[in-house]
Structure 1
Amino acid sequence: MLDAAYAEGQLGADEYHDRVRRAGSARTLGELGGLTADLQSPAVFGPPAERKRFGRRHSGEYPARTKARDGDRARTVAALDAARADGQLDADEHTAMAELAAEARTLGELSTLVAELQQRPAAPVKPKARNTFRIVTSAAVALAAVGGFAWTIRADEPAAPAPETTINYNAAPPLVIPTPKLDTVVGFIQFRDDYRAKFGDTLVDEAVLHDEHASAVRRAPDNGDWTVDYTYRGGFDRSNSQVTTRKRDAVDIDLAQVNTDALGAVLNTAAATLNVRDGVVTHLRIADTSWVGRPAITVFVRNEVSQSGHLVLALSGEVLETNPYER
């Protein structure tokens, strides 16, 4: 199912490989089910058999969080093209929304983009009595047939039970992927490298890094008058389906200009510098800081009894301002 969803564009490469890895280490049916719960039924399995169910009505629609196929994105772009042609959207709106549609990951994101149009593409039809066990079993039998194996079941005899397969989950060593905290210098470098790989540059309007997640605001694709918000948890996803008008005084901040050696030194001594006993760095904010007149990094420190302080340093590493905790 994951292979089929990847081929249809429901999953990106990183997400596909992550789910395959998690499927290989799953111990329960619930864990496996969670890896496909937000997927549309792959077309490669064909339409499932329908059975009448009494007392229940089929909604006919997937949940908004369901992964979108390439075909869903193409239909949404076609609807936006038609809306542009008949005057519902102007050129800037059409360009920005078409770019967002091309990057959309869920059906809910696509639905939001066309919610105000007079003509909207039909939502994908959810199978009526979807039986995941039957689908997966059918697929397994088909694969076995391709490999040259066939089972013959006589009409007057019960099918022979399938032989049990014992899987030794300890045969291979676990794959451990380190995930550094993003509010450390190692985590920042990881975030910056992944950002460059995703967008092809290191320009942001603003970035905020917490220990396990981060956010970034950058220009919308092909339209510098708009911005798009992204969240980061090992990969980048849009935090919403809307675009926002970019501030007139916004500046491009180049993460490549951050002096990581100086940043690491500041982070290591931040708690002591700010007089926060047993304090830890809670998050970093990289933005155009008006009171210092240039892009800067604000480092926030807090301890378990809510004593806190923060300091501001230039991208070059020069400390511009300190606001220590005062007893």
Structure 2
Amino acid sequence: MTSRRTTRARDIDRSNTCTLLDAGYGEGQLDFEEHKSRTAAAMSARTLGELESLVTDLQLPAALTDTLPEPEPASPRRLPLKAGIAAAAVAVAAVALVQLNRDGPDPAPAAAAPLVPAPAAPAPAPPDAYSDVAPVVITPIDTLTAGGIEQFRDKFRKKFGDTLVYDVNFFDDYVSITRMMPGQPDREQDYSFRGGFQADTATSHSGDEPPFDLASVDLNALAGHLLGAAESLHVPGGTISHIRMEVEDGDPQVTVFVGNDATGASGHMYLRPNGEIAAVYPYSPTG
């Protein structure tokens, strides 16, 4: 192997020589002490000749050592030898990771290439402010049943703080209410209820009847009357059209109205809040 022996060595030349020495150590051509001393000599060498003398006795493929290259710009751990020699040294250095000399400790492993994190997935697009928003669904209350009236009564108490009305009419899809205006005994306020309370007109209160207390109604007793209302009132195929609660002539009463729209038959009954029947007005084909 020939070279320009008196040419001053660069740091990159010293580093590349150490690469070849690592390869020789990995293949068992150098023992631990030889590798250590030659590496120290390579790092302090002043000329290319001194560096070449440290690796000329190592086995490298003959076909890669025929000529010497011109010195090249610095690149990590390359000697100013033929490019093929540098390539062979890199290959041999790789073998050094698995074929280690048994006479000394393992050389330090090559530093692993840093991991490049995968690009973050794009954030999902925000939902459309209108089309993707689930609608708020309010389950209707069937206030022609005792259970529905109980739910209404609970909501009424929560809304107004009491269960007092002048009158209330329960229909299949809404409720109409008239109650006193707080602090104004001579005024009354109408409300409608369809899942929530909506104030309607306010008028002067006429009459001396006291308010009806919704809490006084025995809903269990009422439930039985509602189930058999069509039979009790002799309205075949009839259904409850509405229920009214009020104080009439000083007596609180619950009126249940039943009708059949197809035949025109209808009837009604008066109940006391405790469920007692006060009066029955059944349908009669003869009038």
TM-score under structure 2 length normalisation: 0.51
The Cα of 1:207 is off from its aligned counterpart by 0.5
- The 5-angstrom pairing of residues 1-327 of structure 1 reads 177-240=138-201, 242-247=202-207, 249-290=208-249, 293-305=250-262, 306-327=264-285
The Cα of 1:304 is off from its aligned counterpart by 2.8
Closer/same/farther in 2, CA of residues 200 and 279 from structure 1, 3 Å limit: same
> In the aligned structure 1, how far is the partner of 2:260 from the partner of 2:171?
15
- For residues 193-212 of structure 1, the C-alpha deviation after alignment (integer angstroms, 9 at most, x for no partner) is 11101100001111111011
The Cα of 1:172 is off from its aligned counterpart by 10
> In the aligned structure 1, how far is the partner of 2:284 from the partner of 2:259?
13
Q: Which residue does the alignment assign to 2:88? A: none
Give identity over the alignment, percent: 38
> In the aligned structure 1, how far is the partner of 2:166 from the partner of 2:136?
36
> Is the CA contact 1:225–1:245 (under 8 Å) kept in the aligned structure 2?
yes
Q: Which residue does the alignment assign to 1:86? A: none
5+ residue gaps, structure 2, are: 1-123
5+ residue gaps, structure 1, are: 1-162
Matching residue's letter, 1:276: V
- For residues 89-113 of structure 1, the C-alpha deviation after alignment (integer angstroms, 9 at most, x for no partner) is xxxxxxxxxxxxxxxxxxxxxxxxx
> Is the CA contact 1:257–1:316 (under 8 Å) kept in the aligned structure 2?
yes
> Is the CA contact 1:275–1:325 (under 8 Å) kept in the aligned structure 2?
yes
> Is the CA contact 2:141–2:152 (under 8 Å) kept in the aligned structure 1?
no
The Cα of 1:245 is off from its aligned counterpart by 2.8
The Cα of 1:176 is off from its aligned counterpart by 5.8
> In the aligned structure 1, how far is the partner of 2:214 from the partner of 2:185?
18
> In the aligned structure 2, how far is the partner of 1:315 from the partner of 1:182?
16
- For residues 265-292 of structure 1, the C-alpha deviation after alignment (integer angstroms, 9 at most, x for no partner) is 00000000001011110100101123xx
Q: What's the C-alpha RMSD, in Å, of the aligned pairs?
A: 2.7
Matching residue's letter, 1:189: E
Matching residue's letter, 2:222: L
Matching residue's letter, 2:155: D
> Is the CA contact 1:220–1:243 (under 8 Å) kept in the aligned structure 2?
no
> Is the CA contact 1:218–1:228 (under 8 Å) kept in the aligned structure 2?
yes
Closer/same/farther in 2, CA of residues 220 and 176 from structure 1, 3 Å limit: closer
Aligned residues: 161
Closer/same/farther in 2, CA of residues 174 and 205 from structure 1, 3 Å limit: closer
Deviating beyond 4 angstroms after TM superposition, the runs of 4 or more aligned structure 1 residues are 163-167, 171-177
The Cα of 1:228 is off from its aligned counterpart by 1.0
Larger radius of gyration: 2
The Cα of 1:165 is off from its aligned counterpart by 6.3
TM-score under structure 1 length normalisation: 0.45
- For residues 226-259 of structure 1, the C-alpha deviation after alignment (integer angstroms, 9 at most, x for no partner) is 111111111111112x332342x22121100100
> In the aligned structure 2, how far is the partner of 1:251 from the partner of 1:218?
11
Greater helix share, structure number: 1
> In the aligned structure 2, how far is the partner of 1:285 from the partner of 1:325?
19
The Cα of 1:178 is off from its aligned counterpart by 3.1
> In the aligned structure 2, how far is the partner of 1:313 from the partner of 1:231?
24
> In the aligned structure 2, how far is the partner of 1:244 from the partner of 1:309?
32
Q: Matched residue of 1:262: which SS?
A: helix
Q: Matched residue of 1:198: which SS?
A: helix
The Cα of 1:191 is off from its aligned counterpart by 1.3
The Cα of 1:294 is off from its aligned counterpart by 0.5
